[in-house]
Amino acid sequence: MSFLDSLGDGWTIYLWLVAGGMILVACAYWMRWAAGNAQFNEDIKYLVFSESDRDKMTPEDFKKSREVLKEQEALRQEFLKAEREERTRAGT
């Protein structure tokens, strides 16, 4: 405790500045990651609908939900294929 007592007045502001800077750097990193991994896709809201929701939606919205579902399923298949290839490469 004597080390902290030996520091002059106002040293805690520097501690807060360093902590705040680290938080900002971490936020920038995760925002960049999210943007690169399609985490800001506005169409994701359509994935919660199923065929039974047809009567609750406009025809345009239902069509859009089916298109988004097909796109997401295609992305899923690509991801699974890449994951399988990675596993086979790692296993050999």
- Each residue's pLDDT, cut to its tens digit, for the chain (92 residues) gives 677 777 777 888 899 999 999 999 999 999 999 998 878 878 888 888 888 888 998 999 999 999 999 998 998 999 999 999 999 998 76
* Structural domain containing residue 33: 1-40
Question: Are 81 and 54 in the same domain?
Answer: yes
In the chain, the number of structural domains is: 2
- Say if residue 56 is in the same domain as residue 35: no
Residues 78/60, Cβ–Cβ less than 8 Å: no
3-state secondary structure of 71: helix
Q: Are residues 13 and 25 in the same domain?
A: yes
Give me 51's structure tokens.
């065929």
Answer yes or no: do 87 and 49 share one domain. yes
Residue 92: its pLDDT value, please? 61
Dist. CA 37–CA 32, nearest whole Å:
9
Same domain, 25 and 47: no
pTM of the model: 0.56
- Please state, in angstroms and rounded to a whole number, the distance separating the CA atoms of residues 30 and 23: 11
